[in-house]
Structure 1
């Protein structure tokens, strides 16, 4: 007898949030901007915002985008969108106006929510483009509708819950080879799988008090729902710095958090680290970029064996593999270079170009199967087919596996740079540089950087008789692609090395900077 969709269907993110609200109504859920909300109070605020969305004509599977920082009202708006089954898209907080406008058009966004205290000027510019029908602001602004004030007039009772398991939960944008971002389509299947895997494998403390130090539009946002399902508390940081982090851990009795490697490096380099008591902090999850094994060993020695490494990507978020706290073992130093072992529920293999699994010790592309994998790229059938060829998600990461099953990332097949936890796609920066009238050719690579992991570096060949300064090119990319994508340095070359096929030989370029290292990520 075959399965039927309704009988064996997946639950939804909306249903998981509602479960947490009803189960832990009187517990403290969310803290930020001098606001403290219980689960019951947060639920009421979410239902008010949901009714506001309905009042302006938004319906299930309409697109909503947000440009916001770590604010309580922003989180309530995100949850409200999920309760209604809207397709949620986060705009990169450091992205350029050009890229953000592209995302609004590509995703068919109908409503845009702007955190005006942080992004008012950009929000006004985006609103003026006329791409979206509705612009909502988190507080009073000279444009749009004040979401906070308008929602306060709405009924706080349970709003309609009309979300289907097969609905699109989120469209998250990541770089593409054409220079334009790709929308990664995630259904509720992906989000629910990730959440259940987090709960099962991430070694949560008995009392979950999670400090969100990175944008909720990125990695920190993925830890909120599993925290809520345990009746825990999420505390928002407006902006990360080591002292503010240490003070927040003590003041809010934080037991767990997520940091990118550059934040861990900042903690280690902070002169006052030893003066603060971190004994109540039971888990620091880290990821979003490779970590330097030597610095990881230093962190374990100075902070303790409380670290858990996560590995995933936008196409299979957060929970592909995990390296447990007890595996951060000074007696097994080789594990400091590992991203752990596959999380149960994921079929993870290292494959060659013929989709054959490579033996232990040999390098292959890390490929994934299972319910965690995305549905595809929005409006990109050819790229979807390529990335999901042979019914595998091809991550583009090259890795080797040891006899015990631990995985070690050694290089990236895709020319992606990870700087400070943010993904920078070299092709996007190269395409931007190509638009400058003085530039004939460029190659963009990541080079080792003690704090950021990798620094974006451009090697540029100018057109005959053309001239331009390093700073002018950096400013050009900043204006068109945002500060994250801007090169930290520019090297002017007379020519760039090419392969026999006429492609840029980035391997030889990287060798200038990565010589003597046993892996090509940092």
Structure 2
């Protein structure tokens, strides 16, 4: 296969009457999905879109989102995803940066889009999913303006398929350009890691604007099968879908896994159809993983990657919760077959086994660069190696153990302290529901370790309790000097903990 569009046409040729997309009561076969995608591609062409023009989508998960992806893949448009959790000025910045010709948006965002229209001169047509305002065209009406044979355009392997924006923790978010070639490679890697099979049923609850959702969707598309779309994550709805739709594969973040296994109605749902749960985006606390394995069985795969590139996976058989292999639960596994990984020191040399350095990756599943940002692109690469900004180490089998983001490493009294190691130790305390570790300025030590903690409902633990517990598991100099108890963590639009905001909260509380 050369392009992502080939995934769509291949499924329609081989399995035209098999189900492709499911959302609630809506079901589309592969043949129906291809026809609707071709109509949309043609409608966009008739609206003035040429190959590599941008089409932006501002929506929650829905089948129309999947159709927009497929239309772009068939005809070579660049699909720019917009995080619906962003504030209006942030949305305006992303749309201004990509300068799309068409914006597809859901009716619930009509007021936001109306307020931004004057500042977005590149957008010639606004297409609304749902009840359209007077200044937009309804999605289904727009679809009917297209030819069922598609647009007279064809995507190429090195065309940019997607622009996906990073969280922007250190400034403006950057638009990651991912080619058809890279996205096909990513889908193949995740397909292998998740043991995806023909006629599998992949449940999508991760937001479709995010690279994570796209990776698992593409993994299922490699093998045909069904993609079941949920608007957002709801543990009861997920458990019900697993039982009634016989879901086989899921991609979740650890907090979602925790919500499922701790759901009071878990035992009343049949989850025996689940073959693989891939978890990513954050480390899984070992106590949560133990409970998850007890409830779901040995179905878990840990994956690591970034919007900029796909990296590693720890397979199911290495998820042991007892015995000598238990230490591997702290690993993100080996490089994917189409990816190479190095761990590089500050001096540019490859680190020895056990030595901590920065992860560098290269391979077909790596981005083409940052949109409209040549400086950031040049800074991100060394030759053809992507410098990820994540710190880790190899074991003797070249399995990777992450220790921190480079910018989050704490230096206290001249010692490097990695927040994830401290977080894993604190998470072992039975009263702890969630934990995030940061560094705070300290006159004596340079930086001090601070733990922000959310306790389990009804549980009690003091700062002294948690500090003593941590010192029993890791070196004393790594234990937190302070504990900040919170009801909730600030998060980035991607859903990850916003440690910049955590540092501000700590600074304010200790002013």
TM-score (norm 1): 0.77
- Report if aligned partners of 1:85, 1:167 keep a CA contact under 8 Å in 2: yes
For residue 29 of structure 1, give the secondary structure of its aligned residue in structure 2: strand
- Please point out which of 162, 165, 173 is paired with 2:165: 173
Matched, 1:127 2:117: yes
Once the two structures are superposed, what CA deviation does each residue of 1:15-72 show, in whole Å capped at 9, x if it has no partner? Answer: 2222122221110110114211111111111111111101110110001110111111
Q: Structure 2: which 5+ residue stretches go unaligned?
A: 410-418, 421-435, 439-447, 457-487
Distance 1:102 1:258 in 2: 29
Specify the alignment match of 2:260 in structure 1.
267
The equivalences for 1:249-268 within 5 A come to 249-268=242-261
- Please point out which of 57, 62, 76 is paired with 1:66: 57
- CA drift of 1:274 comes to 2.1
Relative distance call for 1:387 and 1:493 in structure 2 (3 A) is same
Matched, 1:240 2:255: no
- CA drift of 1:491 comes to 3.5
The equivalences for 1:77-476 within 5 A come to 77-116=68-107, 118-131=108-121, 132-142=123-133, 143-176=135-168, 179-205=171-197, 207-218=199-210, 219-316=212-309, 319-330=310-321, 331=323, 332-415=325-408, 447=452, 449=454
Q: Which has the higher contact order (CA 8 A, sep 6+)?
A: 1
Q: Structure 1: which 5+ residue stretches go unaligned?
A: 1-9, 419-423, 427-442, 452-473, 497-522
The equivalences for 1:472-491 within 5 A come to 487=501, 490-491=505-506
- Report if aligned partners of 2:7, 2:221 keep a CA contact under 8 Å in 1: no
- CA drift of 1:479 comes to 13
- Report if aligned partners of 1:24, 1:39 keep a CA contact under 8 Å in 2: yes
- Please point out which of 30, 51, 54 is paired with 2:42: 51
Once the two structures are superposed, what CA deviation does each residue of 1:73-126 show, in whole Å capped at 9, x if it has no partner? Answer: 22112211221111111101211111111111111222111011x423323333
Distance 1:495 1:402 in 2: 40
Once the two structures are superposed, what CA deviation does each residue of 1:135-193 show, in whole Å capped at 9, x if it has no partner? Answer: 11112321311121221343323443421222111111114476211111111121111
For residue 490 of structure 1, give the secondary structure of its aligned residue in structure 2: helix
- CA drift of 1:481 comes to 12
Distance 2:303 2:492 in 1: 33
Distance 2:249 2:509 in 1: 50
For residue 264 of structure 2, give the secondary structure of its aligned residue in structure 1: coil
For residue 351 of structure 2, give the secondary structure of its aligned residue in structure 1: coil
- CA drift of 1:129 comes to 3.1
- Report if aligned partners of 2:357, 2:393 keep a CA contact under 8 Å in 1: yes
- CA drift of 1:196 comes to 2.0
- Please point out which of 5, 9, 13 is paired with 1:18: 9
For residue 179 of structure 1, give the secondary structure of its aligned residue in structure 2: coil
Distance 1:478 1:195 in 2: 27
For residue 260 of structure 2, give the secondary structure of its aligned residue in structure 1: helix
Distance 1:88 1:119 in 2: 18
- Report if aligned partners of 2:58, 2:83 keep a CA contact under 8 Å in 1: yes
TM-score (norm 2): 0.79
Relative distance call for 1:381 and 1:341 in structure 2 (3 A) is same
- Report if aligned partners of 2:166, 2:175 keep a CA contact under 8 Å in 1: yes
What is the aligned-residue RMSD (CA, Å)?
3.1
Relative distance call for 1:186 and 1:124 in structure 2 (3 A) is same
Distance 1:45 1:385 in 2: 39
Once the two structures are superposed, what CA deviation does each residue of 1:347-386 show, in whole Å capped at 9, x if it has no partner? Answer: 1011001221111111111110111111111222222111
- Report if aligned partners of 1:99, 1:481 keep a CA contact under 8 Å in 2: no
Aligned residues between the structures: 439
- Report if aligned partners of 1:85, 1:164 keep a CA contact under 8 Å in 2: yes
- CA drift of 1:295 comes to 1.5
Distance 1:105 1:98 in 2: 10
